Chain A
Amino acid sequence: MEQQYKQVNFNLNGKDVSCVVDIRCSLTDMLRNQFGCTSVKKGCEVGECGACTVLIDKEAFNSCIYLAVWAEGKHILTLEGLLGPNGELSDIQQAFIDEAAVQCGFCTPGFILTGYEILETGKLYTDDELRKLLSGHLCRCTGYENILKAVKKVMYQRLGKTPEEA
């Protein structure tokens, strides 16, 4: 069988890019191998752990069960895209550090991107709602409490509220 390749054009972290991919590639493969986005982790590779999560047109997807060729015309955001022009951390990244929501760090990029999607809605969520919104990620080190705290902290910060006022 002859190998099959295709040119894919998309926007990665705010920049228009294009590359030629083997059609058998997952989006994880393409982002890691051809664009060096190593924040996109290879975990379970069957869409269960969330370590490979990226935002596609502002929604969270498991990039391991997404064909690379489907990136055509899409806007894709990885953790690298959250950094400021001089490498400054975004509010959600800083909150993960401040709340000790990171241990081994393998699940962290995925959690932060889902956190970013949640925060971009600009809505106030209850703890139960946040838990459900974060439920597509597995963490095997810290437990989930500090991760929840970090997302919640930024949610209140961005809304200019304290938990007592809400």
Chain B
Amino acid sequence: MYDIKALYEAESTAHAVQLRLEHPEAQIIAGGSDVLVQVREGKRAGKALISIYMLDELRGIRIDDEGNLRIGSLTSFSHITKDPLIQQYIPALGEAVDMVGGPQIRNIGTIGGNTCNGVTSADSASTLHAYEAIIELTGANGIRRVPIKDFYLRAGQTDIRPDEIQTAILIPQDSYKDTAGYYFKYAMRNAMDIATTGCSVNCRLSPDKGTFERVRIAYGVAGPVPMRAPTAEAMAAGKPVSRETVQAFAQAVLQDINPRDSWRASRALRQHIAVELASRCLTESVHRAGGAL
């Protein structure tokens, strides 16, 4: 038995909003692979929970009227990996979430939960940052959209207001079209591990594959929240597709990231890995985009 004070089960998104207002002290639970473990650990023991897990309306992936790739917040990691639209437009995201935990965790874990818990090591987060995802929140006054970089306030804290639940993650068409990307998770084990550092890169090449039109890079565990590396991105934009550009780009990330010493790894190791991953991820992205180095 879990030490749960009360369980309020949402029957629709509107009902979830109503429950949020009625029970401001309650914790939202989606798949529960974080929340239930924290209840077991004692960190969240004795709390009331609002379960949104049964809301099938928050599952599934489609292209919306504006051309955004719309991922329902309760879509599980395994369903994202298997989804044909993800495989076609943003395979790096499907590959990234295929590195979360193990197979059973990927069946219960949701992309909404992975972002709402505000953890820097979330495997989906760096790729979502690199594709400039928009977080859709539904509250009493309707829908609010927040760019993912503003959604993360600080470690473990995201911008969800007292009446809101996260209902979708949108990838704008301008971010995913004509891009190729790659995610590298550096961890100690191949399964059931948390990233020491994770890096997600995507690029758009000129039609002749000779110039970087645009490069995006984001990290997990390179700072208190997932982050882009704007100096490196600006440095690569408009440059020729070459090994020199890739190396200069990779070195430039050190001006943006701010990893810490922790029991998992030192700051120095993380900085070293961050440079290496930037180089490998951009190299693979170029290959996937049809370019050569």
Contact = CB atoms under 8 A, between A and B. Distances in A.
Contacts, number: 87
Contacts of B4: 23-24
Chain B binding site: helix, strand, loop or mixed by DSSP?
A: mixed
B108 A65 contact: yes
Contacts of A26: 1-2, 36
Nearest to B46: A1
A60 B103 contact: yes
A135 B32 contact: no
Interface in B9-37: 9, 29, 32-33, 36-37
B7 interface: yes
Nearest to A59: B107
Contacts of A1: 5-6
Contact of A66 (B3, B101, B108): B108
A53 to B, nearest CB: 6
Interface in A95-140: 114, 132-137
B102 interface: yes
Interface string B93-113: 000000001111101100000
A80 to B, nearest CB: 19
Contacts of B101: 47, 136
Contacts of B1: 22, 24-26, 29
A20 to B, nearest CB: 14
Nearest to B37: A46
Contact of A67 (B32, B107, B190): B32
B225 to A, nearest CB: 24
A24 B3 CA distance: 7
Interface string B49-87: 001011000000000000000000000001000000000
A132 B191 contact: yes
B2 A24 contact: yes
B103 A135 contact: yes
Closest 3 CB pairs of A and B: A136-B102, A135-B191, A23-B7
Interface of B: 1-7, 9, 29, 32-33, 36-37, 40-41, 51, 53-54, 78, 101-105, 107-108, 190-192
Given A65-B33, A132-B103, A136-B103, 8 more contacts: A1-B5, A25-B1, A45-B40, A47-B104, A60-B103, A65-B37, A67-B51, A114-B103
